[in-house]
A and B are shown apart, each in its own frame.
Chain A
Amino acid sequence: MSLSLLQLKYKLDGCIYSSREDAIMTLSNTPATALPPLVSLALRPLPLYPFQLFLSAVLRRIVQQHPRMFERLGSYAGKRYGLAPSDLPFAFVLDTAPQAARLTVVRSLPLRLDARISGPLQILLGMVNGSYDGDALFFSRAIVVEGDMEAVLALRNAVDDAGVDVLQEGASLLGPPGRFCEALLREYFGGEQKKGLSSVSRRQGETSWN
């Protein structure tokens, strides 16, 4: 049932794909708001190890708070997804093995993955917390999806149901400084998101068909 990794490349200018029968997406102005280059640059030399510890804690918390998310993955639990924010100097590997889910930060994605999803951090986060319609965004021009389409759909649907707010989960682990960072990021993304969302909401829905 799974497609080969290279079978699905979604990278053509002007072409936007959806993995599903319901979506041709022609978002002419995808609300992709990249982090400012300086921020990306500043993040580059950071050691990954402390970040890894933090991420593992975030994931543990998410798993605890949303146990059904992994249940919803069904037979796709165990698939490995690469998540690559295009505006960060590192990427993530999400291993959805039941009871042993792992989120690992890496400098670059390994080859052996079931699916890869890459795009600006803001969009990836917006999809996770349900601000965006996945069909309108998931396969929008700003995002590249490769690999097992069914596994990607399963993850998308499971995440959409769980409504995980990654920023909030992470911030709450860090106490007051975390909440301060969360507020800053939300302020930044929020303003940009409004611009972006208006274009999404204007267009989403219209483009679905069976």
Chain B
Amino acid sequence: MELICPAGTPASLRTAVDAGADAIYCGFRNETNARNFPGLNFSPEELTEGVQYAHFRGAKVLVAINTFPRAGALELWHKAVDDAVAAGADALILCDIGLMAYAAEHYPGTRLHVSVQAAAANPDAICFYVERFNAKRVVLPRVLSIPEIAAITRASACEVEVFVFGGLCVMAEGRCSLSSYATGLSPNMNGVCSPASHVSYENAGGTVVSRLGDFTINKFGSGEPAAYPTLCKGRFQTEVSTGYIFEDPVSLDAATLLPGLRDAGVTALKIEGRQRSRAYIENVVRSFREALSAMEQGRAVPAGMLLAMSEGQSNTLGAYRKTWR
């Protein structure tokens, strides 16, 4: 299985390559990618250099252009596709039908990967992208159990990539407007979720209140760890109960499921976190590289090493375990 690693900056890209990534995914420094955060991402020149660095060391670079182009502003997204191809990208990760049509028409020789943002969650939807746009790989949304993934790989004429570590959307990706409902800015249109520009914390008598736009997302008593106000991981109240209605503040760690994913026919494993630092990337990529080596050599995945990342309070196997639902 290939290890697909995130890079928010050229330095992260080099770190990921050196730490053993088979491929790096990254995006341009604008709203064409779903991690459109301040100070992150690549200029076309940086991408070209990054591709050279990766190719020289046998790694691939996949370019995520995974927001939905704004009506009246298609040129920006077309330019991103043009620039990615010119930089030597090994694949484009796309979610918008119109943009896929553009890429398939203008660059039929460039591999097209269906982004998780396209929410292709079954063989029929995947078949649509394969037949219409010659997609070579699909990144599955994080809503599927391992048996469901196995069924998809059996029935699909393209490679399957799944997330194994990092941030976890509770909602079907690419189909969520919670962020823009509270802030006006959404992952689909602006490449941001619960953006920092709309976050505030207030300290009221020992209680910290985290807010997003006009809405309180959580409150923390003293001594309680406080989380960033990502909307779907906030605490809310209903007449039934009060708490983490949608999801606890957890992140995905599917390291222990690697053998199951391999047996399910998965081609590539994706680590989330283009917004994270070099130190995170170094650590997580190296650990997964070692875990994969161990698995390939028939050794048990070294528990201690994986524990290094999963110890603590806030990991989940997510939808890979059916009871999550």
Q: Give residues in A with beta carbon < 8 Å to B.
A: 1-3, 7-26, 68, 71-74, 76, 130-136, 149-151, 153-158, 160-163, 200-210
- Within 8 Å CB of B43, what residues of A? 71
A206 near B312: Cβ-Cβ < 8 Å: yes
Q: Is B284 an interface residue (CB 8 A)?
A: yes
- Max chain B CB contacts within 10 Å: which of A21, A71, A135? A21
A13 near B223: Cβ-Cβ < 8 Å: yes
A207 near B228: Cβ-Cβ < 8 Å: no
Q: Is B109 an interface residue (CB 8 A)?
A: no
Question: Complex Cα distance A137/B8, Å?
Answer: 18
Q: Is B294 an interface residue (CB 8 A)?
A: no
Question: Complex Cα distance A200/B282, Å?
Answer: 13
Question: Complex Cα distance A155/B273, Å?
Answer: 18
A160 near B167: Cβ-Cβ < 8 Å: no
Question: Complex Cα distance A123/B225, Å?
Answer: 20
A16 near B309: Cβ-Cβ < 8 Å: no
**What 9 A-B pairs are tightest by C-beta distance, nearest first?**
A210-B167, A157-B39, A161-B9, A154-B39, A154-B38, A24-B227, A209-B251, A14-B223, A133-B279
Q: Is B313 an interface residue (CB 8 A)?
A: yes
Beta-carbon nearest neighbor of B168 in chain A: A209
A208 near B166: Cβ-Cβ < 8 Å: yes
Which one of B11, B167, B225, B250 contacts A161 once the chains associate, using CB atoms below 8 Å?
B11
Question: Complex Cα distance A163/B12, Å?
Answer: 10
A150 near B196: Cβ-Cβ < 8 Å: yes
Q: Is B200 an interface residue (CB 8 A)?
A: yes
Which one of A68, A203, A208 contacts B167 once the chains associate, using CB atoms below 8 Å?
A208
Total A-B residue contacts, Cβ distance less than 8 Å: 194
A24 near B37: Cβ-Cβ < 8 Å: no
Residues from 173 to 207 in B contacting A, C-beta threshold 8 Å: 193-194, 196-197, 199-203, 206
B283 near A130: Cβ-Cβ < 8 Å: no
Question: Complex Cα distance A143/B278, Å?
Answer: 20
Q: Is B137 an interface residue (CB 8 A)?
A: no
Closest Cβ of chain A to B257, distance in Å, is 16
Closest Cβ of chain B to A7, distance in Å, is 5
Closest Cβ of chain B to A21, distance in Å, is 4
B40 near A201: Cβ-Cβ < 8 Å: no
**Given A157-B8, A209-B167, A210-B168 in contact, is the A20-B39 Cβ separation under 8 Å?**
no
Question: Complex Cα distance A15/B169, Å?
Answer: 24
Q: Give residues in B with beta carbon < 8 Å to A.
A: 8-12, 29, 37-40, 43, 46, 165-169, 193-194, 196-197, 199-203, 206, 208, 210, 220, 222-228, 230, 233, 249-253, 272-273, 275-280, 283-284, 308-315
Which one of A8, A24, A68, A151 contacts B200 once the chains associate, using CB atoms below 8 Å?
A8
Beta-carbon nearest neighbor of B271 in chain A: A205
Question: Complex Cα distance A89/B210, Å?
Answer: 32
Question: Complex Cα distance A13/B29, Å?
Answer: 37
Question: Complex Cα distance A1/B197, Å?
Answer: 5
A157 near B273: Cβ-Cβ < 8 Å: no
- Within 8 Å CB of A133, what residues of B? 276-277, 279-280, 283
- Max chain B CB contacts within 10 Å: which of A17, A130, A208? A208
Which one of B208, B275, B312 contacts A207 once the chains associate, using CB atoms below 8 Å?
B312
A210 near B39: Cβ-Cβ < 8 Å: no
Which one of A16, A157, A200 contacts B9 once the chains associate, using CB atoms below 8 Å?
A157
**Given A20-B196, A21-B193, A23-B228 in contact, is the A153-B11 Cβ separation under 8 Å?**
no
A135 near B230: Cβ-Cβ < 8 Å: no
Which one of B193, B201, B312 contacts A7 once the chains associate, using CB atoms below 8 Å?
B201
Known contacts A19-B228, A157-B40; 20 additional CB pairs below 8 A are A3-B200, A13-B222, A15-B224, A20-B37, A22-B276, A24-B226, A26-B313, A74-B39, A132-B279, A135-B275, A150-B38, A153-B196, A157-B275, A201-B283, A203-B311, A206-B253, A206-B314, A208-B273, A209-B251, A210-B230
